[in-house]
Amino acid sequence: MFGLGTLSGILFRQLAVPRGGVVNVVILAGGYGTRLSEETDVRPKPMVEIGGRPLLWHLMKFFAHYGHRDFIVCLGYKGFVVKEYFANYRLHNSDLTVELAREGLTFHSSPSEDWRITLVDTGLDTMTGGRLRRVRSHLDDQPFLLTYGDGLGAVDLDRLVQFHRRHGKAATVTSVQPPGRFGVVEIGEGDTVRGFHEKPVEAGGWINAGFFVMNPSVLEYLDGDDTILETHALPRMAEGGELMAFRHTGFWKPMDTLRDKRALQALWDEGHAPWKLWS
């Protein structure tokens, strides 16, 4: 027997209906990734592999598990690597026979992903807010999810979207409490975001973990290519009371350094990858 929650999840996946009215997933994948230069000299950071697949693929599989399959990827540095991978996705992910004399290919398996992926060149040096602004013509008039292409988490996306719908503000940021080496999200009464601090004021502060839900109205906070989402747009939303925090106490890990990459790989190799919800 299935419980109502399980049955609801099955129906969403079968019918491919976006949950909570959220249509698009925007992924920021255009940065240089200089702190991971051992890998990013030849490919953008979201294409660094964990378990033989790009981290970007892991992110998409995670979102698709919750029924979100319409992706808009903001490209910049070495964006052609991302384009090539998805343009030849079947080739990259299938067994095949190559008949050289006939110039023919026979595929013996096919990937099962039913994703729609829009790959947009948002500029080499465009800032995070500017990248989002550049894909506005591809967004629906419904709320959308936004995340960074260089980190993984086990965020409950159903609860995140429900939280966003309930409070009715312009945006929701997922916040976590890792060791204090990140900027801090200051959260006030009723989970209202009161401000951002680029350096932590004390250990245990809540930080920006990505995994946003945003209404189209957030585009009004983005002025141009040089708009930095984290230091310009988000603080303005917070000042106007239009930004809320969804507190996540489970797994979250960015891939900033080679050490981070190896830690994620170890979790995958050990069969304990918390973000792997698909079978």
Distance (Å, rounded) from C-alpha 87 to C-alpha 79? 12
Give the 3-state secondary structure of 155-193. CCHHHHHHHHHHHCCCEEEEEECCCCCCCEEEECHHHEE
CB 67 within 8 A of CB 12: yes
Distance (Å, rounded) from C-alpha 61 to C-alpha 278? 7
pLDDT at 205 (0 to 100): 78
pLDDT at 138 (0 to 100): 97
Residue 9 lies in a domain: no
Under DSSP, the state recorded for 274 is: T
pLDDT at 60 (0 to 100): 98
Distance (Å, rounded) from C-alpha 28 to C-alpha 276? 21
Residue 236 lies in a domain: yes
Q: Give residue 168's domain range.
A: 17-269
Residue 274 lies in a domain: no
Total domains in the chain come to: 1
Residue 1 lies in a domain: no
CB 44 within 8 A of CB 79: yes
State the amino acid at position 240 in one-letter form: G
Torsion, Cα 111 142 155 253, to 10 degrees, reads 80
State the amino acid at position 278 in one-letter form: W
Residue 55 lies in a domain: yes
Residue 208 lies in a domain: yes
Question: Where residue 141 sits, what CATH number does that domain have?
Answer: 3.90.550.10
Tokens 């401000």 belong to residue: 195
Buried b (16+ CB within 10 A) or exposed e, 241-269: ebbbbbebeeebbbbbeeebbeebbebbe
**Could you tell me the two tokens for 87?**
């343009």
**Could you tell me the two tokens for 182?**
């990140």
Residue 104 lies in a domain: yes
CA 109 to mean position of chain CA atoms: 28
Residue 152 lies in a domain: yes
Mean pLDDT, the chain cut into blocks of 10 residues (279 residues total): 40 46 91 91 96 98 96 98 96 92 87 93 97 97 96 97 95 85 74 73 75 97 97 96 96 94 97 95
Helix, coil or strand: residue 251:
coil
pLDDT at 54 (0 to 100): 98
pLDDT at 194 (0 to 100): 82
